[in-house]
Amino acid sequence: METIIIQTKDKAELKFYIELAERLGTKFTTLEDFQDEQLLSRMLENLNTPLVEKENIIDQLHNILNEGQAPYTNED
Query: pLDDT digit string (tens) for 38-69?
Result: 999 999 998 888 888 999 999 999 988 888 76
Burial of 14 (0-12, 13-18, 19+ CB in 10 A): middle
* Percentage of the chain lying above the pLDDT 90 cut: 50
pLDDT above 90: residue 15: yes
pLDDT at 70: 64
The answer to whether 30 touches 23, Cβ cutoff 8 Å, is no
pLDDT exceeds cutoff 90 at 13 = yes
Enter the pTM of the model: 0.51
Judge whether 32 and 41 are in contact, CB under 8 Å. no
